[in-house]
Amino acid sequence: NETIKAELGRASWKLLHTILARYPEKPTAEEREALSSYIYLFSRVYPCGECASHFQKLLKKFPPQTSSRVAASQWGCHIHNQVNARLGKKIFDCNTIAEKYQCGC
Amino acid sequence: NETIKAELGRASWKLLHTILARYPEKPTAEEREALSSYIYLFSRVYPCGECASHFQKLLKKFPPQTSSRVAASQWGCHIHNQVNARLGKKIFDCNTIAEKYQCGC
Ligand SMILES: Cc1cc2nc3c(=O)[nH]c(=O)nc-3n(C[C@H](O)[C@H](O)[C@H](O)COP(=O)(O)OP(=O)(O)OC[C@H]3O[C@@H](n4cnc5c(N)ncnc54)[C@H](O)[C@@H]3O)c2cc1C
Ligand SMILES: Cc1cc2nc3c(=O)[nH]c(=O)nc-3n(C[C@H](O)[C@H](O)[C@H](O)COP(=O)(O)OP(=O)(O)OC[C@H]3O[C@@H](n4cnc5c(N)ncnc54)[C@H](O)[C@@H]3O)c2cc1C
């Protein structure tokens, strides 16, 4: 059970950080709205109930930053670090995020 | 590049199928709306542009089925098989989907 939860978490973070890494540098109003809605809906449909409700609280405290690619990616790194801290995991260095997540598409 | 695209695809399918496997058996109107919106937004923010635009066309042909867990999971399996077919991959047996995707949360 813990293994399944961890694998799902890794898959979800990979998708989320890659979405943010490919988010436009200068998003339109529609793109901003789409990203923000996507993140809130993600927090509602996320299959681990305990994780979802904790993440919803984090979103209230740290709403998605959608003004630019850098803002969005740094926000994603920060909120992942909040989860890391809660779970007693290592804090990730957000200066290295742009190198780590690429898509190649 | 192809490796990154494939890893991102695997992560995304895992998340999507697990969401569908944990979707309520008897969803409320709000839950139906949340899942449907999530899927359409996913198709807009998906980081691989070619994949996203192909997936958007598939969604027009095969809109998300949100009436129940079984309907949603079978829809997810079917649409993944549409992508498999296009990429020349093996077709997955949708009768085995309930065993394959669990969350344990
Ligand atoms: C929204 C969400 C909420 C979650 N809530 C819970 C919970 O409440 N309880 C629970 O047990 N599990 C939760 N999880 C799962 C948990 O966060 C981990 O995914 C899981 O424990 C596996 O951890 P991991 O050590 O393999 O690394 P993960 O945290 O899954 O990270 C994967 C990889 O991303 C990189 N990374 C690490 N930190 C960052 C960062 N800040 N920014 C960018 N990249 C980074 C590292 O290379 C790491 O190996 C949640 C997952 C998600 C997506
Ligand atoms: C929305 C979306 C669109 C994509 N579009 C493209 C594209 O246009 N071009 C491109 O090159 N790549 C695309 N990809 C990536 C591609 O679908 C694969 O994820 C990638 O090629 C890796 O394939 P894989 O063989 O490892 O298995 P994947 O297709 O990633 O599947 C992962 C695992 O899921 C299981 N599985 C397989 N089929 C099903 C099914 N029908 N239902 C449930 N479980 C199943 C199997 O165990 C499989 O190993 C897309 C991905 C997504 C999420």
- A4: nearest CA in chain B? B103
Q: How far is the CA of B81 from the centre of ligand 2 (A)?
A: 8
Q: Is 0.95 exceeded by the ipTM?
A: yes
Per-residue pLDDT of chain A (105 residues; tens, 9 = 90+): 889 999 999 999 999 999 999 999 999 999 999 999 999 999 999 999 999 999 999 999 999 999 999 999 999 999 999 999 999 999 999 999 988 998 766
Nearest CA among B83, B80, B61, B64 for reference residue B72: B64
Q: How far is A44 from A61, CA to CA, in rounded Å? A: 16
Interface contact B45-A38, CB threshold 8 A: yes
Interface contact B37-A35, CB threshold 8 A: no
Give the global pTM: 0.98
CA distance B39 to chain A (A): 9
Residue located nearest, by CA, to atom 8 of ligand 1:
A51
Long-range contacts of A60-67 (CB under 8 A, 24+ apart): A63/A36, A64/A35, A64/A36, A64/A39, A64/A40, A66/A23, A66/A27, A66/A31, A66/A32, A66/A35, A66/A36, A67/A27, A67/A32
Interface contact A45-B23, CB threshold 8 A: yes
Does ligand 2 lie within 6 Å of residue B23's CB atom?
Answer: no
